[in-house]
Amino acid sequence: MRFTHPDGTTVHLAYCTNVHPAETLEGVLAQLAAHCEPVRRRLGVDRLGVGLWLAADAVRALTASPAAVGELRGELERRGLEVVTLNGFPYSGFGGRHVKHRVYQPDWTHPERLAHTLALAGLLARLLPDDAAGGTISTLPLAWRTGFDAAAAARARTALTELAAGLDRLHDQTGRSIQVAVEPEPGCVVETTADAARWLAGLPAGRIGVCLDTCHLATSFEDPATALAGLDRAGIAVTKVQISAALHAADPADAAVRAALAAFDEPRFLHQTRARHQGRLLGTDDLGPALAPPPPASSAQDPATRTGTGGTGGPGAGAEEGPLPRSVPWRSHFHVPLTSPPSPPLSSTLDVTTAAVGLLLDTPAAAVHHLEVETYTWQALPAGARPTTDAALADGIAAELAFARDLLTGLGLKEQP
């Protein structure tokens, strides 16, 4: 969907197709008919944006065959779909039964990541609608933090520099401007917007920016206004926003709250869990360790004296290791549906989501033009909350997009026909 900002520019709204991942080109083409077009029809719109996730095998098939790219673009047009943004974070295997840490491989220290991202950029340049100003690709926050030493940091920095140069060449060849957006995520080298500002300093701002995932922002207890002001001072642009919400537990000291959280502890994805205590961000790498019984008082370490687990990629990379105090709220990296929050005693961080979007778009000039609803965890929800049919999933995704549409129009944007 497209919206006109009061400044006259176009703001694009899409949803990310990693919610129904396919590893092959044939699978991608099938999901457009089975999932994406039904969502569009439920919304009653003629044109729906989709943020495609293209796995490595699908990318290889498309880059090897110009005809295949034409087939994909033609299928998008026939289904009333358009693509201005890609999710370049997962490389492959996102539909597996046990993704966890594998989602970060290959990271930005490996040449495969650079080659894959440049291939995505070349494909996006060919998939963009003729009237689109440019495209964006979100990517992982360099690497998972552990084992990320000075040599790894140097390799990642070199890769990002080569990426910017490759995007310049693509622009010269095609006239299409593609930006790559690094996506801060808990537990990674770039966990917070402050980490992003440090890591991206000195890189070409017109080519590499930040993807602000509002679930990740909330999980790390970042205040949206403070986070965005910090990026602005550093001259780092927010080039893409993923509209998402995290799982919030106000009183983890309550056994009923912990029992409710345990229903979200599932084997497929990582659910990094965080608490802010005495000004320090504390965390565990998954929800299960956060729920484990605390160690005896005699062996527990005071939060103020713990050593961070962030590796050597730079100060502030990663939260300090738990166990998490139960006297303060917890947040977990679980993308809960925007319109289907968990039942009490749990809630979501939707207030952080709406605040962040408002700060970026309730402005004289739009600060971001690509927004993407990204709830990929529908099938990882507790059994009673997950959709059991394709139709129910389409209903849920359409409801989220309708919520996002209302959010944008409430900020003064006008939906385009």
Q: Which residues contact 64 (CB under 8 A, 6 or more apart)?
A: none
DSSP per-residue string spanning 37-75:
HHHHHHHT-S-EEEEEE--HHHHHHHHT-HHHHHHHHHH
Average pLDDT in the chain: 93
Q: What is the pLDDT of residue 242?
A: 98
φ, ψ for residue 350, nearest 5 deg: -60, -30
Residue type, 186: P
The first and second tokens of residue 298, run together, are 């005699």
Q: Are 41 and 5 in contact (CB under 8 A)?
A: no
The first and second tokens of residue 389, run together, are 């049919």
Compute the half-sphere exposure of residue 187: CA atoms within 13 Å on the CB side of its CA. 19
Q: What is the rounded end-to-end Cα distance, in angstroms, of the chain? A: 9
DSSP character at residue 338: T
What whole-number distance in Å separates Cα of residue 85 and Cα of residue 128?
9
What whole-number distance in Å separates Cα of residue 96 and Cα of residue 283?
25
Residue extents of the structural domains in the chain = 2-251+335-415
Nearest to 195 by CA among 333, 321, 315, 331: 315
- All residue ranges of the chain with pLDDT < 70 are 297-318, 322
φ, ψ for residue 179, nearest 5 deg: -115, 140
| Global pTM value | 0.94
CATH H-level, domain 2-251+335-415: superfamily: Divalent-metal-dependent TIM barrel enzymes (3.20.20.150)
Q: What is the pLDDT of residue 301?
A: 45
What whole-number distance in Å separates Cα of residue 357 and Cα of residue 214?
9
What whole-number distance in Å separates Cα of residue 180 and Cα of residue 119?
12
Q: What is the pLDDT of residue 297?
A: 63
